[in-house]
Structure 1
Amino acid sequence: MTSTTTPFAAGAAVGVVNRIQAKLPEMPTAMAKIGTFLLQHPQAPLQLSIMELGEKTGTSPATVTRFCRLLGYAGYVPFRVSIATDLGRSDARESWKADIGRSFGPDDSPRDVLSTLVSAHTRSLEETAAIMDLALMNKIARRLALCSHVDIYGIGGSAVMAMELQSRLYRIGVNSHYWSEVHAGLTSAAIQDSNCVAIGISNTGRTEETIQMLRQAGAAGALTIALSNNPGSPLAEAADLQIITSVHEQFLQPDDLSAKHVQLLVLDLIYLLVAQVNFAQTTAKLASSAMAVAPHRRPTRAEVRADNAASGVPTGMSRRKNHV
Structure 2
Amino acid sequence: MSGPPDGASVAQRIARSFPALSQSHREVARYVLDHPLKAATLPVAELAELVGVSVATANRFARALGYEGYAQFRAALVLGFEGALAPVEKLRGDLEQPADPASVFDATFAAIGRNLEATRSSLDAGACARAVAAIQAARRVYIVGFGSSSWPAGLLARNLDLTRQDVHLLATVEGPAFAARAMRRLTADDLVIVLATPRYFTDTVRLATQGRESGATVLALTDGPHSPIAAQATITLCVRTDSRYFAASDASLAALVEALSSAVAHASGSLVAAATRLTESVLPWLDGDYAAWPIRGSAVPSPDPDPEP
TM-score bracket relative to the smaller structure: 0.5 to 0.7
Query: Could you say which residue in structure 2 is the equivalent of 1:226?
Result: 220
User: How far apart in 1 are the matches of 2:215 and 2:225?
Assistant: 23
- The answer to whether the Cα contact below 8 Å between 1:98 and 1:253 also exists between their aligned partners in 2 is no
Query: Could you say which residue in structure 2 is the equivalent of 1:162?
Result: 153
Matched, 1:172 2:163: yes
- The answer to whether the Cα contact below 8 Å between 2:142 and 2:191 also exists between their aligned partners in 1 is yes
Matched, 1:262 2:252: yes
What is the RMSD of the two structures over their aligned residues, measured on CA atoms? Answer: 2.9
Query: Could you say which residue in structure 2 is the equivalent of 1:54?
Result: none
5+ unaligned residues in a row in structure 2: which ranges? 1-44, 55-84, 292-309
Q: Which of 277, 290, 303 is matched with 1:288 structurally? A: 277
Query: Could you say which residue in structure 2 is the equivalent of 1:144?
Result: 135
Query: Could you say which residue in structure 2 is the equivalent of 1:311?
Result: none
CA deviation after TM superposition for structure 1 residue 227, in Å? 1.2
User: How far apart in 2 are the matches of 1:192 and 1:272?
Assistant: 26
CA deviation after TM superposition for structure 1 residue 106, in Å? 7.3
5+ unaligned residues in a row in structure 1: which ranges? 1-40, 49-93, 305-324
User: How far apart in 2 are the matches of 1:95 and 1:228?
Assistant: 18
- The answer to whether the Cα contact below 8 Å between 1:189 and 1:217 also exists between their aligned partners in 2 is yes
Deviation string for 1:48-96 (max 9, x for gaps)? 7xxxxxxxxxxxxxxxxxxxxxxxxxxxxxxxxxxxxxxxxxxxxx999
User: How far apart in 2 are the matches of 1:242 and 1:198?
Assistant: 12
- The answer to whether the Cα contact below 8 Å between 2:157 and 2:168 also exists between their aligned partners in 1 is yes
Percent identity between the two aligned chains: 16
1:24-63 matches, within 5 Å, as: 47=53
Query: Could you say which residue in structure 2 is the equivalent of 1:212?
Result: 206
Query: Could you say which residue in structure 2 is the equivalent of 1:118?
Result: 109
Q: Which of 183, 192, 197 is matched with 1:198 structurally? A: 192
- The answer to whether the Cα contact below 8 Å between 1:104 and 1:116 also exists between their aligned partners in 2 is no
CA deviation after TM superposition for structure 1 residue 146, in Å? 2.2
Letter in 2 for 1:251: R
**CA 1:97–1:145 in 2, change beyond 3 Å: closer, same or farther?**
same
Deviation string for 1:208-253 (max 9, x for gaps)? 1011111112211210011111321221111111111113x32332
1:125-140 matches, within 5 Å, as: 125-140=116-131
**CA 1:233–1:97 in 2, change beyond 3 Å: closer, same or farther?**
closer
**CA 1:297–1:101 in 2, change beyond 3 Å: closer, same or farther?**
farther
SS in 2 for 1:225: strand
**CA 1:198–1:96 in 2, change beyond 3 Å: closer, same or farther?**
closer
1:4-83 matches, within 5 Å, as: 47=53
Letter in 1 for 2:190: C
User: How far apart in 1 are the matches of 2:134 and 2:88?
Assistant: 42
**CA 1:133–1:96 in 2, change beyond 3 Å: closer, same or farther?**
closer
Letter in 1 for 2:245: L
User: How far apart in 1 are the matches of 2:199 and 2:103?
Assistant: 31
- The answer to whether the Cα contact below 8 Å between 2:138 and 2:191 also exists between their aligned partners in 1 is yes
Query: Could you say which residue in structure 2 is the equivalent of 1:250?
Result: 243
**CA 1:134–1:174 in 2, change beyond 3 Å: closer, same or farther?**
farther
Q: Which structure's CA Rg is the greater one?
A: 1
Greater mean deviation of Cα atoms: 176-185 or 122-131: 176-185
- The answer to whether the Cα contact below 8 Å between 1:125 and 1:262 also exists between their aligned partners in 2 is yes
**CA 1:102–1:298 in 2, change beyond 3 Å: closer, same or farther?**
same
CA deviation after TM superposition for structure 1 residue 99, in Å? 7.2
User: How far apart in 2 are the matches of 1:167 and 1:202?
Assistant: 18
Letter in 2 for 1:243: L
CA deviation after TM superposition for structure 1 residue 97, in Å? 5.2
Letter in 2 for 1:133: D
Letter in 2 for 1:183: A
Q: Which of 267, 274, 280 is matched with 1:277 structurally? A: 267
